[in-house]
Amino acid sequence: LLGISPEMTTAAYRMGDSVTNIATPLMSYFPLVLTFAQRWDPRFGLGSLMATMLPYAGAFLVAGLAMVAAWVAFDLPLGPGVGVHYE
């Protein structure tokens, strides 16, 4: 109804999803990073790792929103024959 292509909707969803991936315990490398961090600081726990990753998640959010907004504003192609808006 808004005239946005499904490909652009998927791209915006993937950008939003990537922001939370770095700060969730479901990230595949989360236990590995936590184990490596505990080598140097045994008191480093789950909360410490999440608190460390939150500024990065915020930076990814700002950068991702800027990229998606620029992509839509300049109507850049998403791939061969795929645009942001329906023709």
C-alpha 55/C-alpha 74 separation (Å) is: 28
- Could you tell me the CA-to-CA distances from 42 to 31, 45, 77 in Å, in that order? 14, 8, 49
pLDDT of residue 21: 84
Q: Is the pTM of this model over 0.75?
A: yes
Give the phi and the psi of residue 28 in degrees, each rounded to 5.
-65, -30
pLDDT tens for 26-71 read 888 888 999 999 999 999 999 999 899 999 999 999 999 999 999 9
Residue 30: the pLDDT is 87
pLDDT higher for 25 or 79? Answer: 79
C-beta atoms surrounding 8 within 10 Å: 20
